[in-house]
Amino acid sequence: MDIVVLIKFVPDLVEDLEIDTATGLLDRNFLRLMPNELDEHALEQAIILKERHGGRVTVLALDTGDVDEALYTAVAKGADRVIKILGDGFDRGLGNRRIAAILRRAVGDVRFDLILTGTQAVDDLDGFVGALLAADLGLPYVGYVTQVVAADGRVVARKEYPGGLNAEIEVNGPAVLGIQAAERAPRYVVTSKVMEAMKSAKIEELTVDEVSVENELAVSSMALPESGTHAEMIEGNVQQVAQKLAVLLKERGVLA
Amino acid sequence: MCGEVCVFVEVLRGEVKDITYTMLAAGRQLAAGLKTKLTALLIGRDVQKLVAQLGAADRVVCVEHADLAEFNPDAYLHVLIAVFEQHAPRLVMFGHTATGTDLACGVAHRLHWPVATACRTFSLGNGTVQCSSLTCGGKLIANGPLPEPSCVVTVMPGGYKAKDGQVHKTPAVETVSAPGLDQVRTRFKQYLEPPVGDVDITKQRILVSVGRGIQNKDNLALAEKLAAALGGVVSGSRPVIDQAWLPTTRLVGKSGKQVKPKLYLAIGISGAPEHLEGVPEAELMLAINTDPKAPIFDVAQYGATCNALELMPLLTENLKK
Amino acid sequence: MSLSTVVVLLGLVASVGLFGYRCWQRVQHLRLGRPAGPFGRWSERIQGVLVFVGGQTRLLRVPGTGIAHLFIFWGFVLLLPTILQAIIEGLFPDFVLPFFATFGPLLLVQDIIALAVTVAVLYGLYVRAVVRPERYKGSHEFEGNLVLCFIFTIMATLLCHTGIRQNLGEAHVAAAWQPVAAVVGSLLRGLSPETQKAVSEVCWWVHLGVVLVFLTLLPLGKHFHVVTSVVNVLLRNLEPPGRLRPALRDAGAEGAERIEQFSWRQMLDWYSCSECGRCQDVCPAYGSGAPLSPKLLIMGLRAHLLERGQALRARPGDGRSASLEATLSKRLVGDVLSEESVWACTTCNACDRECPLFVEHVQPIVDLRRGLLLQQRGDKTLATALESLRRYGNSFGKSDKQRAKWTTGLDFKIKDVRKQPAQTLWFVGDYASYSPALTQVTQATTRVFQTAGLDFGLLFDAERNAGNDVRRVGEEGLFELLAQKNITAFQKCQFERIVTTDPHTYNTLKNEYVLTNGRSQSLGAKVPILHYTELLDELIRGGRLKVLRKLDSAVTYHDPCYLGRYNEVYEAPRRVLRAVGCRLVEMPRNRDRALCCGAGGGRIWMDEGKVKERPAESRIREAAALGVGCLVVACPKDLTMYRDAVKTAGLESRIVVRDLIELVDEATRADVEPTATAIATTGAMASSSSAG
């Protein structure tokens, strides 16, 4: 079973985000990017399917700058082909509509049974890459997928609803699946294997020229949330806090 | 439906989900401001009986078919495209959920409309509609216009009160027949039930919710005792469920349950957006976390930074007096 | 040739033959292993044999059985001529070994030692049967008892036989030279000479028979150590214990997934294990109820080697049965050893330190972990920590840019060594930088350095986790990556020495970092690396750091594993403690017997699992029982673990945990009134003085 995995590089939220006063938007100058967490799950799910059914896993990613290490890591995990897509302005942070259009061009003639990607990314504002690409390619899309079972040429995706409820959705033909969680946590692959991949594997490069995209969304401004209403903090040592809380709860008539 | 505000009614197993009411609440405001109607789009089988709950809308457009009984992404998309190709609303609102997010992009692409996701609030100003979304793990707010003539949005809870979308009135109903569904490429097979025999936290008035700060499974007993003293039940955030200290039925948050308790005690929970999605409207929230900068304190009404493991038994004792 | 000669000859041939064959088989298994060596420094090695084998020094750390074994060992050596005499006598009846069978003083020594051995053996049997120490749990009990009985029989028959010879005037020397034998003989004087002669014959046959049977059993079980021990001690690892051997990488494999991926030298170690269990007794994991026993680990490796070695050499068509296939398909970690046991190790090195035969336990565990990580078998929490270390250079999941955030609370600027030269580079370490609970301690450290007028600076964001524990969880590649980043940072700066507050960091910088200047020079050889206790000791003794007020309290001190046991720094912290006025009451288990807090070896990054009693809790109870009120530590992980343990053990009103630097800060800071302060304390002071 041949699978294409899409990886989007998103801001690393471990860092503080800043607003660029000139543009009024996110300051991307010192922003550190990392692979979207759910895309890592998608890669893991793809490798699991490859281990079960054979086939090839191809990873596609836009070159937002500094993506090589993640691509070599994908190879070390078991990806067969990794393709870095080059183009103008990728480091400036593109909307998902444009990303989907670029990916559509890049997927080109790659043969696949499934395209897997994270069901969403932390910086999504205008839709989701997987769903948009599916629409562009005219393929069915199922999101919030936590398990993929392939048997007799059919794929059954387990879709997660809130509260622990799941549904099985059968999919005919090639499709795009938005992964919420892989069947197992993404594997840790030891650094020496990544180093090995850096020496032996090759990252393919594909340049995509201007794509025409309609209906891109404009963002007029961004802001950091204000901690407007901060909680009233209860002071004192543990004993005092316990007493005060008990009084507060009784006063509020919450009990009984 | 042309030029109207249209809300996709989200139904799961015969129940209208709360996000629908949030959208109806938002939709009412927008429709009024745009001087247009609010339409609720209801898709399924045997769904006429739910119409009475959709009184906030001016009318309900119903599309029924046997193949639409349970959510089937490709089938529903086919229906939506057929409906909107006939009538283009000003705004189409989907819940930012497992259901809504499967549909929003497909609709936007096929009909050549823009799509804005994770919207929390909307505003009107000189004829334009603006939306405000929370992105980057809740660390960034993005504002932007929703272009004319038509635009798709997905809506997150928290910006509007669900009860504002619950109006006791029976709206007008218009039935539309479903298009041909033989080209549909996905099929609903079955539901996999969640583990049973446990409490339904969505029906509880008091929740003592524990997070990673509880450190290990043994300390859960302290939370249980406190919950018992309060007359409530223990729930948890994702890390606690991932470690299997509590079953998934107790998960509060994005992949878990949405709760609306009178009292929500957040113990050792940092307040990540995925968790807060699960408790957008608690009457009273108290947070205990040793990190004074934890985001939970921006949402809770009261907080303390003392050690939760020491506090819980003392609070339990004090409550018994 | 008489019948008895034939019997002796046959017995000898059979016994030596079987012994030889079994030894040869075991040598063949060694050939499966990877290469090892080279082994220079021979004079040091020979000296080691004299001290550790001859002197039995490590065995004496457990005095009772240690002394018993000393006698048994020397008895074995000194009585060897008597066995030779017996064998040769059997073949050539009137043969008398020149000198060894006739030199009076030698025979006297042999006589007395035979008694000593007898007593030792009886003591050994008593210990096994009555005392039943914990450390023998899991060892082969039957074999142990059997061999003690064998030795007893050999001694008894020797004394009896010799005693009767004395009676009958057939001894080679006067009775005065063989008093013990004479006493034994005197007990039998009542019998007629013919009876005595018969008894003597029986004793001789039993003596020889038991010796020959014992010989054939030697290679089979734990008594193989009799054959291999000298070689094992001779070829012991002379590198500092804190220097692990790098991963053996070939054909995509790393570490040890199969037993053949260990070196023959490691396999020899397992042959030499005598199942004494001293390692098990000091293991913090075992003591806490975790499924790891260093002894059982080695025994498991040995058993698997023998089994698999045998199976691998079975010729095809030799009945390649299902059972053979089953043996060959056994997974080393999974079927023979449990994964849990491999991950349970804190790498504290107590086992290696205790072992009388210098068997290495930590290195094979690390080798096994290397193999496990390569196969992606490790717990989820560990994977999260490793991802964070690889991405951000720290295990806290925080940005590397935030590493020096703790400096923002200070009222002066610390030098940036990347921009300005400094005499001392302070390598802060993950915990001191990122753990909110330790910020106060890190700031106290800064104050002390300032008070001492030290010219110091930091690497700020360029610092990465030094990698000590990354290496010990088996992620060798990541260790190399982190070390590389740190070394590159070092090479761009100018400094004369490095000081660190974390013993783990100290260990790896000092012992394992190698410069990339083409000469493979160790960092520790180029630049002095100090733990802060060593630096403070130097500063106080040199008068550069003045104690303004004596703390005047009784305290106890916990030797951190990576400072004490691994690197032998015991006295510097003690001198510092005394210099600030503390009266030190030693922990019962101190210096190289200190009990690990349980955080090392990456354990602090892993799921705790089921424990009976956490090592940290056991240790804090040990400290509280001394009645001193304060436990002083010198490692950030110790501080974290013990402060937690105080809470979980409910000892808040009995003891506080302070870092040594906090005490030094209190004793030396100039911005506070110079009055004597008590630091050991009750609950009230505990909550205000414990950080976080």
pLDDT at C327: 86
Residue C335 has what DSSP assignment?
A: I
Least Cα separation, residue A73 to chain C (angstroms): 12
User: Hey, of C248, C367, C394, C478, which one would you mutate to test binding to chain A, going by the most A CBs within 10 A of its CB?
Assistant: C478
Contact A237 B306 (CB under 8 A): yes
User: Does residue B115 contact residue A95 with C-beta atoms inside 8 Å?
Assistant: no
Q: Is the pLDDT score of B191 beyond 70? A: yes
Q: Which residues in chain C are closer than 8 Å to B310, comparing Cβ atoms?
A: 647
List phi, psi (to 5°) of C162: -65, -40
pLDDT at B240: 87
Render C629-642 in DSSP notation, one character per residue.
Answer: SEEEE-SHHHHHHH
Of A132, A160, A217, the CB nearest to B116: A217
Buried b / exposed e over B102-125, threshold 16 CB at 10 Å, is bbbbbbbbbbebbbbbbbbbbeee
Q: The tokens of B242 are what?
A: 């991932």
pLDDT at C684: 31
Mean confidence (pLDDT) of chain C? 91
> Chains touching chain C at 3 or more Cβ pairs under 8 angstroms?
A, B
Q: The tokens of A196 are what?
A: 């090995």
pLDDT at C605: 92
Question: Model confidence over B56-73: pLDDT tens digits?
Answer: 999 999 999 999 999 999
Mean confidence (pLDDT) of chain B? 90
Residue B252 has what DSSP assignment?
A: B
Bridge partners of residue B286, in order along the sequence = B265, B302
What type of residue is B61?
A: V
Question: Model confidence over C482-506: pLDDT tens digits?
Answer: 999 999 999 999 999 999 999 999 9
pLDDT at A256: 53
Question: Model confidence over B160-177: pLDDT tens digits?
Answer: 988 899 998 899 999 999
Q: Which residues in chain C are closer than 8 Å to A193, comparing Cβ atoms?
A: 374, 477
Least Cα separation, residue C381 to chain B (angstroms): 10
Residue C49 has what DSSP assignment?
A: I
∠ CA A116-A118-A121, nearest 5°, is 150
How far is residue C514's CA from residue C526's CA, in Å, rounded to a whole number?
10
Least Cα separation, residue A28 to chain B (angstroms): 13
Return the number of CB contacts < 8 Å for A and B.
258
How far is residue B253's CA from residue C39's CA, in Å, rounded to a whole number?
61
How far is residue A126's CA from residue B278's CA, in Å, rounded to a whole number?
23
Cα radius of gyration (chain C): 30
∠ CA C405-C435-C440, nearest 5°, is 75
Of B216, B291, B309, the CB nearest to C608: B216
Q: Calculate the dihedral angle through the C-alpha atoms of B1, B70, B257, B137, rounding to the nearest 10 degrees.
A: -60
Of A124, A180, A245, the CB nearest to B117: A124
Q: How confident is the prediction along chain A (256 residues), in pLDDT tens digits per residue?
A: 999 999 999 999 888 888 988 888 888 888 899 999 999 999 999 999 999 999 999 999 999 988 999 999 999 999 999 999 999 888 888 999 999 999 999 998 899 999 999 999 999 999 999 999 999 999 999 999 999 999 887 899 999 988 778 999 999 989 999 999 999 989 999 999 999 999 999 999 999 988 889 888 889 899 987 766 788 899 888 889 999 998 888 877 776 5
Inform me whether the C-beta atom of residue A200 falls under 8 Å from chain C C-beta atoms. Answer: no
Bridge partners of residue A155, in order along the sequence = A150, A171
What type of residue is B247?
A: P
User: Does residue C669 contact residue C451 with C-beta atoms inside 8 Å?
Assistant: yes
User: Does residue B268 contact residue B240 with C-beta atoms inside 8 Å?
Assistant: no
Of B118, B145, B191, the CB nearest to A218: B145
Q: Which residues in chain A are closer than 8 Å to B134, comparing Cβ atoms?
A: 225
Least Cα separation, residue B95 to chain A (angstroms): 13
Distances in Å between the Cα of C624 and the Cα atoms of C551, C646, C678 are: 19, 9, 17
Q: The tokens of A158 are what?
A: 């387990």
pLDDT at C445: 95
How far is residue C408's CA from residue B4's CA, in Å, rounded to a whole number?
55
Handedness of CA C655, C671, C445, C438 (dihedral sign): positive
Q: Is the pLDDT score of B204 beyond 90? A: no
Q: Which of C480, C479, C507 is nearest to C240 (CA)?
A: C507
> Chains touching chain A at 3 or more Cβ pairs under 8 angstroms?
B, C
What type of residue is C94?
A: D
Q: Which residues in chain B are closer than 8 Å to C436, comparing Cβ atoms?
A: 291
Q: Which of B183, B174, B233 is nearest to B205 (CA)?
A: B233
pTM attached to this predicted model? 0.89
Which parts of chain C have pLDDT scores under 70?
251-252, 315-320, 673-692
Pairing of strands B284-288, B233-236: unpaired
How far is residue A68's CA from residue A195's CA, in Å, rounded to a whole number?
12
pLDDT at A227: 65
Cα radius of gyration (chain A): 22
What type of residue is C182?
A: A
Contact A222 B143 (CB under 8 A): yes
Q: Which residues in chain A are closer than 8 Å to C373, comparing Cβ atoms?
A: 188, 190
Of A14, A188, A194, the CB nearest to C399: A14
pLDDT at C172: 84
Question: Model confidence over C621-631: pLDDT tens digits?
Answer: 999 999 999 99
Question: ipTM score of the complex?
Answer: 0.89
